[in-house]
């Protein structure tokens, strides 16, 4: 088994030399590297070792409460003691005030080390962001400090049986009772819906306050305990049995007149909820990158050590000496490096705040490409290892199982492709993307010309959604064309510049053909 090793060199290179972190005011690359080193050591030494036993043991429902796998409560206590929950929380509420790019570093490392545990802890920054944007001063004072300290973990209660992504079908109801509210209904697929690690849980619940479609939805803060210390009327009815993420309790929750309070304006629940969801989508993109990076680490190490066949001169060969294996290993590497570049660019632009239209366009591309990259990379990793990849010993089968959900939750990738080909196609968002590509010096690049032709073609369709998948793939290819140019130009800043240039050369040979194929499918209306 290959122990988890945080890809610190790749992460810091990408942020500093590809994504343009230095364009963000107050970015301190040296401080980021120091913090990243501390978290990487913690992840490698304490978080990652519990990933495999947690996957094998899973979570259990006992006397109405969720019990995490052995060792997880102690691990979370260590995580809290070191101050990691408050990394990006505002300083005035007990946090450290670091920006989103610092979170991008630790989140990827955390996901690579133990995706299941990262899922349970990872919604805290989004919950804090939602409170800071929509909460009253009193709500911020009560709820942000315990989130920053680790006393409280957060959930996002959105999905319901039969509703899926159709939010107009949400039936969970909130009723006003004087100055307070009560919530009644059922929510499903709630990550970390209950656990025995934190003292408290804060549920952010989307509930109906009127029958006016999505305009009748409001967002509520629903703590697991009432003000008097008694348990709120929130019950775990079951833990889902999943393909992967066995150490992350995905719960069905029943709200039976649970006490809650409104956050933001009544009827503006989606606006508030999407603040949390947009953070979650960026986080999910990094989960895909983390799995791709882990697949590369395992597959490249195995391929460089496993003796198999002979070279042309008759000497013993290792797997990496064979062309097809080298192709697969380089493709895995390209998926991880390219996906990280897209995700980091999104975080940098989000943090700069000077081009919100571009951020709006990049977010679905990052979520879609990076999660598919994680799935493809883990599948290729299994293939590189052959029969051993199919066994549990090298754990790429767990990587494959854990990565698969990322293309489904926080908006299935098809929904993001549909959004790109409809709502974002003809407005300022797509214009911002086109301006970005042109500014990168690729105004006359053939792939970009195809993208512009495809955009025009889609805008002329009465229903562009059948072409949405290919447009997403084409958009990703054009964006990657820009970012691989940056990677090639700055490769000397990486400790293994030769590796980056080799992978970049492979991408430059193959990518134009894939872009042309997707453009052809669009323009032929296939």
Q: What is the pLDDT of residue 70?
A: 98
Strands (E), 209-264: 217-223, 234-239, 250-263
Summarised one tens digit per residue, pLDDT across range 415-451 is 999 999 999 999 999 999 999 999 999 999 999 999 9
Convert 65-75 to b/e letters by CB count within 10 Å (16 or more is b). ebbbbeebeeb
Q: What angle do helix axes 323-352 and 100-121 make, rounded to 10 degrees?
A: 110
Q: What is the pLDDT of residue 42?
A: 98
Q: What is the pLDDT of residue 143?
A: 98
Q: What is the pLDDT of residue 272?
A: 84
**DSSP β-bridge partners for residue 204:** 156, 221
Residue 77, pLDDT above cutoff 90: yes
Summarised one tens digit per residue, pLDDT across range 27-51 is 999 999 999 999 999 999 999 999 9
Summarised one tens digit per residue, pLDDT across range 446-501 is 999 999 999 999 999 999 999 999 999 999 999 999 999 999 999 999 999 999 99
Place of tokens 């793939």: 473
Give the residue with greater pLDDT, 526 vs 181: 181
Q: E strand or H helix at 46, and its extent?
A: none
Instruction: State phi, psi for 309 to the nearest 5 degrees.
Output: 75, -165
The separation between CA 318 and the C-alpha centre of its own chain, rounded to angstroms, equals 35
Q: What is the pLDDT of residue 169?
A: 80
Q: What is the pLDDT of residue 276?
A: 72
Q: What is the pLDDT of residue 273?
A: 80
**Once rounded to an integer, what is the mean pLDDT over residues 331-356?**
96
Could you give the CA distance from residue 109 to residue 32 in angstroms, rounded to a whole number? Answer: 13
Binned at pLDDT 50, 70 and 90, residue 280 comes out as: confident
Report yes or no: 455 and 310 within 8 Å, Cβ to Cβ.
Answer: no
Instruction: Please enumerate in sequence order all residues whose Cβ is within 8 A of that of 498, keeping only pairs 6 or more positions apart, or say none.
Output: none
Which range, of 59-63, 118-122, 159-163, 386-390, averages the lowest pLDDT?
Answer: 159-163
Q: What is the pLDDT of residue 1?
A: 76
Which position among 160, 331, 410, 429 bears the catalytic label?
410
**Once rounded to an integer, what is the mean pLDDT over residues 329-341?**
98
Binned at pLDDT 50, 70 and 90, residue 344 comes out as: very high
Q: What is the pLDDT of residue 17?
A: 97
Binned at pLDDT 50, 70 and 90, residue 84 comes out as: very high
Of all residues in the chain, the percent with pLDDT exceeding 90 is: 89
Q: What does the block give as tokens for 169?
A: 């079908």
Give the residue with greater pLDDT, 493 vs 276: 493
Q: E strand or H helix at 173, and its extent?
A: strand 173-177
Q: What is the pLDDT of residue 281?
A: 87
Q: What mean pLDDT is reported for the chain?
A: 95
**Once rounded to an integer, what is the mean pLDDT over residues 138-144?**
97
Instruction: Name the nearest CA neighbour of 18 among 510, 392, 488.
Output: 488
Q: What is the pLDDT of residue 128?
A: 95
Summarised one tens digit per residue, pLDDT across range 11-24 is 999 999 999 999 99
Could you give the CA distance from residue 184 to residue 174 in angstroms, rounded to a whole number? Answer: 6
- CA distances to 177, 257, 487 from 183, rounded to whole Å, are 11, 5, 50
**Once rounded to an integer, what is the mean pLDDT over residues 237-241?**
96
Residue 275, pLDDT above cutoff 80: no
- CA distances to 159, 222, 274 from 217, rounded to whole Å, are 13, 15, 12
Could you give the CA distance from residue 193 to residue 64 in angstroms, rounded to a whole number? Answer: 12
Q: What is the pLDDT of residue 80?
A: 98
Alpha carbons within 13 angstroms on the beta-carbon side of residue 459 total 11
Summarised one tens digit per residue, pLDDT across range 373-416 is 999 999 999 999 999 999 999 999 999 999 999 999 989 999 99
Residue 525, pLDDT above cutoff 80: no
Instruction: State phi, psi for 311 to the nearest 5 degrees.
Output: -80, 175
Q: E strand or H helix at 157, and its extent?
A: strand 152-157
| DSSP symbols for 75-121 | HHHHHHHTTGGGTTS-GGGTS----HHHHHHHHHHHHHHHHHHHHHH
Residue 83, pLDDT above cutoff 80: yes
Residue 208, pLDDT above cutoff 60: yes
- CA angle (371 as vertex; 425, 472 as ends), nearest 5: 20
Longest dimension (CA), the chain: 85
Q: How many residues does the chain have?
A: 526
Summarised one tens digit per residue, pLDDT across range 110-130 is 999 999 999 999 999 999 999
Query: 163 by DSSP, 3-state: which?
Result: coil
Query: 427 by DSSP, 3-state: which?
Result: coil
Q: What is the pLDDT of residue 360?
A: 94
In the residue annotation, 410 being an active-site residue is answered as yes
Summarised one tens digit per residue, pLDDT across range 509-521 is 999 999 999 999 9
Q: What is the pLDDT of residue 312?
A: 87
Q: What is the pLDDT of residue 74?
A: 98
| DSSP symbols for 364-414 | HHHHHHHHHHHHHHHHHHHHHHTHHHHSSTT-HHHHHHHHGGGGTSSS-HH
Could you give the CA distance from residue 45 to residue 34 in angstroms, rounded to a whole number? Answer: 17
Residue 526, pLDDT above cutoff 60: no
Of all residues in the chain, the percent with pLDDT exceeding 70 is: 99
């Amino acid at each position: 088994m290959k122990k988890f090793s945080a890809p610190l060199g790749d992460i810091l290179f990408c942020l500093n030399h590809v994504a343009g972190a230095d364009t963000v005011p107050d970015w301190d690359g040296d401080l980021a590297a120091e913090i990243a080193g501390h978290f990487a050591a913690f992840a490698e030494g304490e978080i990652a070792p519990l990933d495999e036993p947690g996957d094998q043991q899973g979570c259990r429902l006992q006397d109405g409460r969720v019990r995490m796998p052995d060792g997880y409560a102690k691990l979370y206590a260590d995580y809290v003691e070191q101050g990691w929950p408050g990394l990006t929380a505002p300083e005035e509420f007990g946090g450290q005030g670091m920006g989103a790019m610092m979170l991008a570093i630790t989140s990827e490392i955390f996901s690579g080390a133990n995706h299941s545990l990262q899922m349970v802890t990872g919604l805290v920054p989004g919950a804090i962001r939602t409170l800071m944007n929509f909460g009253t001063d009193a709500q911020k004072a009560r709820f942000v400090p315990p989130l920053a300290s680790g006393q409280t973990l957060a959930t996002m209660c959105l999905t319901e049986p039969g509703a899926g992504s159709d939010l107009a079908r949400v039936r969970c109801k909130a009723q006003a009772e004087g100055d307070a509210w009560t919530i009644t209904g059922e929510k499903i697929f709630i990550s970390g819906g209950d656990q025995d690690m934190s003292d408290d849980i804060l549920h952010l619940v989307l509930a109906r306050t009127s029958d006016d479609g999505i305009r009748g939805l409001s967002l509520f803060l629903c703590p697991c305990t009432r003000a008097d210390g008694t348990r709120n009327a929130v019950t775990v009815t079951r833990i889902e049995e999943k393909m992967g993420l066995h150490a992350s309790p995905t719960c069905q929750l029943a709200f039976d007149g649970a006490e809650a309070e409104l956050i933001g304006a009544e009827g503006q629940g989606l606006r508030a909820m999407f603040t949390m969801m947009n953070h979650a989508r960026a986080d999910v993109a990094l989960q895909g990158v983390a799995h791709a990076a882990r697949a590369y680490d395992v597959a490249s190490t195995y391929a460089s050590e496993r003796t198999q066949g002979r070279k042309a001169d008759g000497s013993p060969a290792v797997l990496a000496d064979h062309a097809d294996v080298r192709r697969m290993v380089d493709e895995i590497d390209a998926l991880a490096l390219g996906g990280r570049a897209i995700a980091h660019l999104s975080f940098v632009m989000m943090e700069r705040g000077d081009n919100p239209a571009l951020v709006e366009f990049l977010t679905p591309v990052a979520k879609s490409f990076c999660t598919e990259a994680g799935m493809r990379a883990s599948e290729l990793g299994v293939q590189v290892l052959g029969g051993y990849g199919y066994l549990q010993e090298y754990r790429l089968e767990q990587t494959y199982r854990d990565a698969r959900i990322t293309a489904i939750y926080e908006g299935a990738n098809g929904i993001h492709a549909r959004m790109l080909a409809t709502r974002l196609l003809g407005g300022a968002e797509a214009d911002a993307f086109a301006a970005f590509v042109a500014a990168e010096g690729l105004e006359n690049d053939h792939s970009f010309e195809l993208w512009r032709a495809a955009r025009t073609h889609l805008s002329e369709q009465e229903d562009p959604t059948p072409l949405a998948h290919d447009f997403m793939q084409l958009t990703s290819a054009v964006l990657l064309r820009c970012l691989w140019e940056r990677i090639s130009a700055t490769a000397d800043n990486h400790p293994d510049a030769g590796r980056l240039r080799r992978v970049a050369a492979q991408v430059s040979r193959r990518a134009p053909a894939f872009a042309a194929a997707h453009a052809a499918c669009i323009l032929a209306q296939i």
